[in-house]
Structure 1
C-alpha cells in the first residue's frame, strides 16, 4: 500500500482502521504465517522436492498478484541451508550477452572471457554438475520471466537440457500464463514441470485474513462478515495484490456498491410477463410440430401390402365339367425343368389359349412309354384370363445352362467381414538395473513406511543416485506414472512405523540427510 495513505499526519487508512476496530497492527502488512490454502502449500512442497532431486525445469505461472514472488521467497527461506539459490534479475537479462556476463560472474574461471553467449551458458551448466558432487545443488530463479526476451529464456532452457539434468542447476521460471508459449514447450513434455496458482475463492480469502486479524486484535466476525467477504471477493478477483489495496476501503465502508445493484433486487413479475408468454407460445408450437411429426412417422411405419393375385386353373379331361373348382393358389408352383432336347422356347402370347379337346389330349399321351410318363413333369396350369397375367418370372426361371437356376446372391450385410487388426500393446518395461528394481505393487503391499529419496521422469535420475551409494543396503527404485508419464522413485528401507523410518534417516550419509528425505507410507507410493 502507498505510505501516504497510511501516515498518521494526514489521517491515513490504517489509523482509521485502528481507531474504529482497535487494531494493534496492520493485518495486510504481515508476511507470516505463510498461506497454505488454494494449493499454495502443495506448490511449495513440489518446488522443494524437485529443486533438490528432480531432473526437470520448473515453470510457475499465475495471474498478476497471485503470490508467485511470495512463494519463491518462502522456498528460499526453507531450503537455503541445502540449496544454492541464484536469482537472475529481469532487468539484467536484456540479451544473451547480458546473460553470459551474469553467469560468468558466478562460474568465474569455468567460462573464458572470449566465449560466446551460447558456449558460456552451456559451460555454466556443466560447471554446476561438478558442484553438486560437493553436496549442494544450485537453483536459478527467473522471476517475471514473461518479461524476458524469449531467446534468452530458451537459451537457459537449452543449456539445462543439454547437461546431466539430475545434477545440473535447476532453472525455475515464474510468470503469467503467457510464459509457456514463450519458452516454446507444451505441458506434455518430460523436460518441464508446470505449476499453476489458481485465483483465491471466498473461503481462501477468509483463511488468509482470519489469522492476521486475530494477531492484530481485530473483530473477526465483523471484519469478515458475509457481506464484506462477498465484496472482498468480487473486487479483488482472487488476487493478493488487489486484496491488499481494496480491503481497507471495504472495512471502512468507503467502497460503494455497483450502481443499479439494489434496483435489480426489486424486480417485478410484470417484467417477466412478455418473456413468459413468448416461452409458452414457443412451447405450444413445438408441441404441435412434434405431434404432427409423430403422426407422419406412424403412417410411414405401417407396411403397405399389395393384394395377392388369385390364379385359377382349368382341368382338361372327361371329368372337367363335374370336377370341383380348385381353390385359388397363393404361390405359383414352378414346374420342373424339361430335358435339354425337349425344352420349349418360352413365349408369352396375348391371344386367348386354344381349346384342348379330349381326343387330342389322349393322342399326345399315347407315344410316351411308362418310364417316360413317370419322369415327365406335370403341365403348367392355364388360367381363364389373358396370357399377359402369367408372371414373367416363371419364364425367366429357365436358363440356358440346362434348366439350372443361378443361386441367390448373398446379402452384403451377411458377408463375413475381415476383423480389424488389434492395436499394438504398449511394450513391457525392462529395468536397466534389475537387482535394485522393485515392482510398485510389491512396495504397496508392504503396508509399512519407507523413505523416498529422489523422483523424476527419467530412469537415469534414479540410477545416478543408486550408483553413488552402492554399499547402502535397502536402496531400491520403482516405476510409477505421473500425468500418464513414467515416474521413477528411489526408496530406502521398509519400516513398521514412522518413528522407525525417521530414526533410519539419521543413519543415512550426510549428503542425503541434507536433501530432506520424505518419510511416507509404502501404500501411498
Structure 2
C-alpha cells in the first residue's frame, strides 16, 4: 500500500467508503466533491447578496475588496462564483500567496496569467510600473483586469505593499487592475483599515437554517431530490461541531453518512471481518455524533455495546469531533449556554505553505458553545500590559467615550453580532466591563453590532495589547480600528 503522510479515516480506501455511501443513499455523485462544487452555489447566509456586492464593487468602486472568513469558511467558493458572473472581457489572475510568495514569481504569474507580454528582467520597481502601465492602456481599450489573492495574509508585509502599489501606480483609478484578497486575519493585512484602499467584507458562519439550506442544495446537485437524509436535529449538531464553516460541515456530514452506512449494513447482514476492522474508526465517529446529538441523554444499548470495541479516533476529523464533544459537555456542566456570537476575525496563520485542515476548526466568525470552550493556541510571549482608557457607555448609537475621543486614537474591534443581547451578556461576564463598548453599524442592509475594547494612542499600542485581552478573546486576531473610522461607521440614533 502506498504510504501516506496524513492520517486516513481507516484502512479502507476513502473512494471505496465514499462509493459505499453514494450507493446506499442513491446519489449520482458525491455531494461534497469537486464536481458538485463546480455545479452548485448555495446562496444561503446572504452569500448571493455578497457575490453581487463584490461584483458591483470590483466593477465600479475606487476601492479594492478584502473578503474575510476563517479557514474553510467558503471564501474560495464565493470568489469563484464572483468570476462566473463577470463577462469574457475580464482577464483574471489567481494567485495563492502560500506558494507565490516572492516578488519575481508574483510578477511572472501576473504577466503570464493576464497575457501582458512584458519582459521580466527589469528591477522590481520598474517591473511593477510596467505592469500598471500596460493594464491602464489595455483597460482604456475596453479590457478589464482582476487579481484574486488566496491566503493573502500569508504574504509578508513587503510583498503586500508592492502588490498594493499597483493601485497607486495606475494613471487613473478606473484604469487600475481590480483586486480581491481572501484572508483569515485582518491584522495580518497591511493597511486593512485604510478605507480609501480596501472595502472589507466578512462572511458569517452558517446558522442551523443556513446549514439545512446549504446541504439541501448540495444533495440536490448530487441527485437526491427528496431533501437531506439527515434529521434536522442532527444537522444542527453537526453544524455546531463544524462551527458553521461550510468546508468543515462538508467533512463532518460526509463522515457521519459514511459511518451510518457501516452500522446499517452490519445490522442487516453479516459483514466481512476485515471490513469491520477497517470501519471501526469510522464507527467511533458515529458513536460520538450519536451521543452528542442526544444532548447528554443516556446512550442507546446498541451504542453502549459498540463503543468499547471500537478503536480510538485516528483521523483529523474524528479527533476534532471527539475533542469538541468533550469540551461541549464540560462547558454545559459549568454554565448555561448562551446565544451564538459572530466573531469577525480568526487566528492568524503562519507564512508557510497552506496547511491541511487542523485538528480543531479555527476560531470563527460566529462562535458556538464548542468554539467558546476551545483551547486557544499557545500565545507568543506577551509584551508589558498596556492600560487602555476606560470606556463608559454601550449606547446603541454613539457611546460617550467615542464622541469625546481624538480622531487619531485607536480601539480594538473584537467581534460583530446580529444579536446585541448576546454580546451584552458577554460584556457582563467580564471583570472589566467598563473597557468594552458596542457600536451599531450596518452590514448587508441590517444592523450589525460591533464590540470594541479600550482606547489607545496609536495602532501599534493597540496591537501590542492584544496579548493582554480577557480570556474569552485569547487566540483571536482583533482589528485595530481608527476612532475616526469607527465614528463614521456608527448608525445615527433613531
TM-score (norm 2): 0.48
